[in-house]
Structure 1
């Protein structure tokens, strides 16, 4: 499956556990919603992804990607060191200026 460059970079940096490169996929004012918590701005997002990488060591395998206007939805198989692995999740992305403006994970 061919993904837009931003989404391809987002997946690659996650799978390489590269939190610095991962956060560069996001706008400075981006908002992330995951596991009932909200993270705002690159520093909070970097801390969130570093904690998640340490706890879960997730690897993301894209299954489908759809984009309508400024909204993208990545459906992926996510595996890692968490109960129920692997699981199929959806990543809902708000896109702006070729960066991620908002990010929400659903099961």
Structure 2
């Protein structure tokens, strides 16, 4: 699957539980919407993903990417009820960084 470099880097960082590399895929002013919560800015995103990594150990298996819709469907698995699950990642990219990410089930 041909993913944009930033999204490929995000998947690799997630699969290695590297919250710093994950957060560096985002702009300084990025926002993430996940499970009804909003995370603002790279530092808050880094804390959010680190907590998720520590608790759930989530890995991602990309299934389908739509360049026109900027969405990635991925099978995620880890230490959470309902694992594995297919989630959709809705991206807005700007100048090689993720400006926003919304994760839906």
Q: Deviations over 1:41-99 (max 9, x none)?
A: 0111001000111111100000000112xx51000000000000000000001110011
The DSSP-based 3-state class of the residue aligned with 2:70 is strand
Give the structure-1-normalised TM-score.
0.95
List alignment gaps of at least 5 residues for structure 2: none
- How many residues were matched structurally? 105
Q: Secondary structure at the match of 2:9?
A: helix
Map of 1:51 onto structure 2: 51
Match of 1:27 in 2: 27
Give ranges in structure 1 of 5+ residues lacking alignment: none
The alpha carbon displacement at 1:3 in A equals: 1.4
Please give the per-residue CA displacement for 1:2-56, whole angstroms capped at 9, x wherever unaligned. 2121111010001001111111100000000011110000111001000111111
Corresponding residue of 2:5: 5
The two structures have a TM-score, normalised by structure 2, of: 0.97
Q: Superposed, which structure 2 residues align to 1:1-107 within 5 Å?
A: 1-68=1-68, 72-107=70-105
Task: Tell me how large the CA RMSD over aligned residues is.
Answer: 0.8
Alpha-carbon distance in 2 for matches of 1:104, 1:78: 15
What CA distance in whole angstroms lies between the structure 1 residues aligned with 2:5 and 2:39?
Answer: 24
